[in-house]
Amino acid sequence: MSLAYVEIGYWESSYSQLDAVVNTTGLKTFNDLSASIANWLHRDDLGALIPDFIRMAEARMQLDLDLRQLEKFTTLTMSNTSNLVSLPSDFNKMRSLSVVAGGIAVELDAMPPELLISRWGAYTSSIPRSYSIKGPYLMVGPNPNSSYTLTLEYQATIPGLTELNLTNDVYTAYPDVYLHACLIYAGQFTRDTELVQGMESLYSMDMDRINLQNWGQSATMTMKIG
């Protein structure tokens, strides 16, 4: 099957057929992806813009993907001198936050910053019970009355592809998604409506498939019967 997007039958092919095509294109690195984008566009004059297409695609995937590859755990140390602590530099989305007190792990409740300040602002310092995200900081309430270690489970940002960072776990696992998302923005730039519509359709299928693979099976596995 030709990779030329102008073949009308291409959009009507099954996803398994498409997946097989993408997996044979040798998308391993940033350079491979850049070359593939240029080939799909049949243009050799957009090299300076292709990194922009990739960055925009990654920003969109960051919003849409819910991947196990991006799940991380870390610990944060709170002191009794502040109720703020810096979040990891690659923090994107909170999963859970807990603190160990008296040998028991207790999960903190999420609150908007204003509500947390209103609820705990004048409260005597104690074990943190709630948290809020305030810019690059994690804010807890009430103020810690001692040093505490918090366990943070979070979704990390996608490490951006560049000439210095040639690959990442998301790209390695889903090169087709990267290509489809990049071609959406490339098509918008070149005003190729057919390309944009076709890639939007494929990208939507990508999201359904991948998010189901990552979390749908997990939900089934954790069900208790009887």
- pLDDT tens digit sequence for 143-192: 999 999 999 999 999 999 999 999 999 999 999 999 999 999 999 999 99
80 and 131, same domain (yes or no): yes
57 and 95, same domain (yes or no): no
Residue among 88, 66, 63 at smallest CA distance from 75: 88
18 and 56, same domain (yes or no): yes
Structural domain range at position 78: 72-156
For the chain, how far is it from start to end, CA to CA, in angstroms? 51
CA distance 45 to 217: 44
150 and 168, same domain (yes or no): no
pLDDT at 22 over 60: no
47 and 91, same domain (yes or no): no
Domain end call among 156, 187, 202:
156
Residue type, 103: G
CA distance 144 to 180: 47
Residue 184 belongs to some domain of the structure = yes
Number of domains in the chain: 2
178 and 139, same domain (yes or no): no
Other Cβ atoms less than 10 A from the Cβ of 206: the count is: 24
41 and 106, same domain (yes or no): no
Residue 47 belongs to some domain of the structure = yes
Domain end call among 138, 156, 174:
156
CA distance 226 to 223: 10
pLDDT of residue 207: 92
pLDDT at 94 over 80: yes
Q: What's the whole-number mean pLDDT along residues 201-205?
A: 93
61 and 167, same domain (yes or no): yes
Residue 1 belongs to some domain of the structure = no
Length of the chain: 226
177 and 122, same domain (yes or no): no
pTM: 0.74
Residue 226 belongs to some domain of the structure = no
164 and 123, same domain (yes or no): no
